[in-house]
Chains A and B, each alone.
Chain A
Amino acid sequence: MNNYFVKRFLYLIPTLIGASILIFFLYSLIPGNFIDTDPNLTAERKAELYALYGFDQPTIIRYFIWMGNLFQGDLGYSLQFQRPVTEVLNNYIWSSFIVAFASLFLTWGIAMVIGVISATKQYSFFDSFITILVFGAMAIPSFFLGLIAIKFFAVDLGWFPAGGMTTSGADYTGWAYVKDIAEHMVLPVIVLTMLGIGGLTRYFRTNMLEVVKQDFVRTARAKGLKEKVVIYKHALRNALLPAITLFAFELPALFSGAIITEQIFNWPGIGAIYMQAFSVRDYPLLMGFTMFIAVLTVISNLIADILYGVADPRVRVK
């Protein structure tokens, strides 16, 4: 068992090295960089800046310098912000994280409940109604959904603020501050949840339909168990197994921000920073951030494997 994890852990190393090569060279081999974007610089000044940021070195050497820094926890230096990348990420990532986390929680909770009910009452009124609703929500683009939400809930009804993360000018502390942020979070979270819920509901419904057809569910009924026990104890546990993989993919998504939704609600998240970094070619920031997401993805895959072992005795390694 322990051997398996050590082995699995060792596999991470080549995967991450591969990812680092791809990420570094993709960004480094593109012609032009942050310094080139400024047309007012003299050739002399340019050469100075090149030397300052290490752009004068051969690309291969730069890769090893970058890697060396990575091992020391240094993701690079953001040219646009003139701060270490880790500091920039740390400043913006958590605001993206709280929105993504709240929406993840809601999406999975609601999708699971609706999916299971839809499956147990296949082709009923509830099932058809939810199907239409869910496809509707999936089909609407986020910018449209976001604007509609702002129009109704922020402008017409005035229930929630239209954008931002805190009320400007207000100087809340303690719980008042938390409440203020929570109020600002509501609309972006609703929009993100609506966007994500469709696919997941269908996924749970399909999984569940697949499982209730299985022989062991019939056996459970033949034992005279209550329908609730049959569905929630026997069927649901089996229907959740394939969702573990899907859940693992959510971990990097928690930190990667929602570019469009953050833009609409003027949310100071990492998605907006990411887009901005592209437009000014702040490659160190982009490389650092992409590498960070790559590490998260690889780790979440490992977590998925471990979770499978816990949840499914057939996968459990002896």
Chain B
Amino acid sequence: MTQQKPLLSVNHLKTYFQSDDGLVKAVDGINFDVYQGETVCIVGESGCGKSVTAMSIMGLLPDSSTIQGSINLDGEELTKLSKGNMRRIRGNKLSMIFQEPMTSLNPVMTIGEQITEVLLEHQVISKKQAIKKSLELIKLVGIGRGEQIIKSYPHQLSGGMLQRVMIAIALACDPKMLIADEPTTALDVTIQAQVLNLLQDLKEETNMSMLLITHDLGVVAEVADRVVVMYAGKVVEQGTVEEIFTDPKHPYTRGLLQAKPVLGSRKKRLYTIPGQVPKLVDLKPSCYFADRCEHCMEICTQQTPELKCNDNSEHKVACWLYEKEVVHQ
């Protein structure tokens, strides 16, 4: 797998927004690859740039944002594509499902219309064929009574059903890459597992790649092949799921793992990481986690650590604790 060319390669991606307070560096120079058939999870707290990363890849950010760096999907440089060409990739080769299934579908259009629409847009098929394909897709995502479903409106279905419909829409054109932005956050716990299993099964069946954005480490442990931990617009740690869970390096990753409830353990109080994600405006060069970190050293507040491997594995971390020679000033 390591010698293969990555399907999606994000390099030095920087997404900035101009706000009234100044330049917001929502995503600040991140790198990661996703290989064919692989599930990569991006983990982090709210406001650390996960969703912006996803929207940058999809090209769905408002014009007020600036994107630098490169996003390469299957040999095509997405940042350099014209709007029209990007549109042809979206929903086709690259598709996305969102956090809120209840609001993500158009309330005045039937489910059928909304599924056939994407097929008719990207494929050369007749309306009849599109409807037939829609019924197959509905069956594929595990909903019965397809004939009835395509005639219903979003408000007539439950959240779990709607998320399945969203998945059907996303998979309609056999994408190579699926981005799922917290697909289970808004759902019931029992439904969460069903939707995750569905995604996992479909991924294996179609051999597509998946970029899953979540803050739920339980989800990560279940589905991820590799994990990217983000903090304040930067990647702080990256590695395989085993490496992250058995040998977390960055104090932030360790904090996240400690904050995860473990079934059966009788702790009085769940661990929390003190403090909050810093405001992403006018950050000074430093480790952005420094003021919440129990291992904070002098250098942490003065220089930004780089993401690098400290042994021969692919496990990378951006933390001064692991620098072999700390540059003393």
Q: Are B122 and A220 in contact (CB under 8 A)?
A: no
- The chain A residue sitting closest to B122, CB to CB, is A224
Q: Are B121 and A225 in contact (CB under 8 A)?
A: yes
Q: Which residue of B58, B87, B91, B106 is within 8 Å of A216 (Cβ)?
A: B106
Whether, in the assembled complex, B276 has its beta carbon less than 8 Å from a beta carbon of chain A, the answer is no
Contacts of B92 in A (CB 8 A): 224
* Min CB–CB distance A165 → chain B (angstroms): 43
Interface size class of B (residues with CB under 8 A): 20 to 34
Give residues of chain B (93-122) contacting chain A, Cβ–Cβ below 8 Å.
95-96, 98, 100, 103-110, 117-118, 121-122
Q: Are B87 and A218 in contact (CB under 8 A)?
A: no
Q: Are B91 and A223 in contact (CB under 8 A)?
A: yes
Contacts of A241 in B (CB 8 A): 108
Q: Which residue of A222, A223, A224, A314 is within 8 Å of B107 (Cβ)?
A: A314
A226 to B86, CA, bound (A): 11
Q: Are B96 and A226 in contact (CB under 8 A)?
A: no
Whether, in the assembled complex, B155 has its beta carbon less than 8 Å from a beta carbon of chain A, the answer is yes
Q: Are B88 and A224 in contact (CB under 8 A)?
A: yes
Contacts of B103 in A (CB 8 A): 214-216
Q: A223-B118, A223-B121 are in contact. Are A218 and B108 (CB under 8 A)?
A: no
Q: Are B106 and A234 in contact (CB under 8 A)?
A: yes
Q: Are A216 and B105 in contact (CB under 8 A)?
A: yes
Q: Are B91 and A224 in contact (CB under 8 A)?
A: yes
Whether, in the assembled complex, A128 has its beta carbon less than 8 Å from a beta carbon of chain B, the answer is no
Interface size class of A (residues with CB under 8 A): 20 to 34
Q: Which residue of A222, A237, A238 is within 8 Å of B58 (Cβ)?
A: A222
Whether, in the assembled complex, B169 has its beta carbon less than 8 Å from a beta carbon of chain A, the answer is yes
Per-residue CB proximity of A196-227 to B under 8 Å, as 1/0?
00000000000000000011101111111111
A170 to B92, CA, bound (A): 68
Per-residue CB proximity of A301-316 to B under 8 Å, as 1/0?
0000000000111100
Q: Are B155 and A219 in contact (CB under 8 A)?
A: no
Whether, in the assembled complex, B166 has its beta carbon less than 8 Å from a beta carbon of chain A, the answer is yes
Q: Are A218 and B104 in contact (CB under 8 A)?
A: yes
Q: Are A215 and B104 in contact (CB under 8 A)?
A: yes
Give residues of chain A (163-221) contacting chain B, Cβ–Cβ below 8 Å.
214-216, 218-221
A311 to B109, CA, bound (A): 10
Chain A CB within 10 A, most for which of B95, B96, B104, B153: B104
Binding site for A on B (CB under 8 A): 58, 60, 87-92, 95-96, 98, 100, 103-110, 117-118, 121-122, 153, 155, 166, 169
